Amino acid sequence: MTHKIRIILADDHPVVRDGLKGMLGSQEDFSVVGEAVNGEDLLDLARKVPAEVALVDLRMPVLDGVSAIARLRESCPALRVLVLTTYDSDADIRRAVEAGATGYLLKDAPREELFNAIRQTSRGYSYLSPAVASRLVDGVRSSDYDELSPREVEVLTLVAQGRANKEIARSLRLSEATVKSHLLHIFEKLGAADRTHAVTIAVRKGIIRLE
Amino acid sequence: MTHKIRIILADDHPVVRDGLKGMLGSQEDFSVVGEAVNGEDLLDLARKVPAEVALVDLRMPVLDGVSAIARLRESCPALRVLVLTTYDSDADIRRAVEAGATGYLLKDAPREELFNAIRQTSRGYSYLSPAVASRLVDGVRSSDYDELSPREVEVLTLVAQGRANKEIARSLRLSEATVKSHLLHIFEKLGAADRTHAVTIAVRKGIIRLE
DNA sequence: GAGAAAATCAACCGAAAGGTGGAGCGTAGT
DNA sequence: ACTACGCTCCACCTTTCGGTTGATTTTCTC
Residue A210 resides in a domain: no
The CA distances from residue A180 to A76, B144, B163, B181, in Å, are: 45, 37, 19, 27
Stretches where chain B sits below pLDDT 50 are: 139-145
CB–CB contact A211 B196 (8 Å): no
Question: Domain ends where: A111, A141, A171?
Answer: A141
**How much is the CA Rg of chain A, to the nearest whole Å?**
20
Residue A68 resides in a domain: yes
For B126, counting Cβ atoms within 10 Å of its Cβ (0-12 exposed, 13-18 middle, 19+ buried), the class is middle
Q: What is the pLDDT of residue A15?
A: 86
User: Going by C-beta distance under 8 Å and a sequence separation of 6 or more, which residues neighbour residue B159?
Assistant: A196, B168, B183, B195, B198, B199
For B36, counting Cβ atoms within 10 Å of its Cβ (0-12 exposed, 13-18 middle, 19+ buried), the class is buried
> Which residues on chain B are in Cβ contact (under 8 Å) with A204?
210-211
Chain C footprint bases within 7 A of protein beta carbons: 5-12, 16-23
Query: CA nearest A17: which of A25, A6, A9?
Result: A9
Q: What is the pLDDT of residue B107?
A: 86
> Which residues on chain B are in Cβ contact (under 8 Å) with A207?
none
Contact (CB, 8 A) for A9 and A2: no
- How near does any CA of chain A get to the CA of B205, in Å? 11
Residue B42 resides in a domain: yes
Verify that B97 and B125 share a domain, yes or no: yes
- How near does any CA of chain A get to the CA of B173, in Å? 21
Residue B86 resides in a domain: yes
Verify that A118 and A155 share a domain, yes or no: no
Distance (Å, rounded) from C-alpha B67 to C-alpha B155? 23
Interface check A115 vs B, CB under 8 A: no
Distance (Å, rounded) from C-alpha A71 to C-alpha A165? 37
Strand C contact at CB of residue A133, distance < 7 A:
no
Count of structural domains, chain A:
2
CB–CB contact B159 A196 (8 Å): yes
Verify that B86 and B171 share a domain, yes or no: no
How many C-alpha atoms does A74 have within 13 Å on its Cβ side?
Answer: 6
Distance (Å, rounded) from C-alpha B100 to C-alpha B96? 6
> Which residues on chain B are in Cβ contact (under 8 Å) with A56?
none
Q: Which chain A residue shows the shortest CA-CA distance from B199? A: A196
- Residue-number span of the structural domain to which B47 is assigned: 5-141
Verify that A188 and A162 share a domain, yes or no: yes
- Residues A96-120: pLDDT tens digits? 877 888 888 888 888 888 999 999 8
Burial readout A151-189 (b: 16 or more C-beta within 10 A, e: otherwise)? ebebbbbbbbbbbebeebbeeeebeeebbeebbeebbeb
Distance (Å, rounded) from C-alpha A67 to C-alpha B61? 31
**How much is the CA Rg of chain B, to the nearest whole Å?**
20
Verify that B137 and B172 share a domain, yes or no: no
Q: What is the pLDDT of residue B145?
A: 43
On whether the pTM is more than 0.85, the answer is no
Q: In B, residues 63-92, which contact A (CB 8 Å cutoff)? A: 84, 86
Verify that A41 and A129 share a domain, yes or no: yes
Verify that A137 and A152 share a domain, yes or no: no
CATH assignment at residue A198:
1.10.10.10
Verify that B123 and B182 share a domain, yes or no: no
Which of the two residues, B62 and A29, has the higher pLDDT score? A29
- Residues A43-72: pLDDT tens digits? 999 899 999 999 999 888 888 888 888 888
Residue A211 resides in a domain: no
DSSP secondary structure of A21-33: HHHHHTSTTEEEE
- How near does any CA of chain B get to the CA of A164, in Å? 9
Contact (CB, 8 A) for B201 and B191: yes
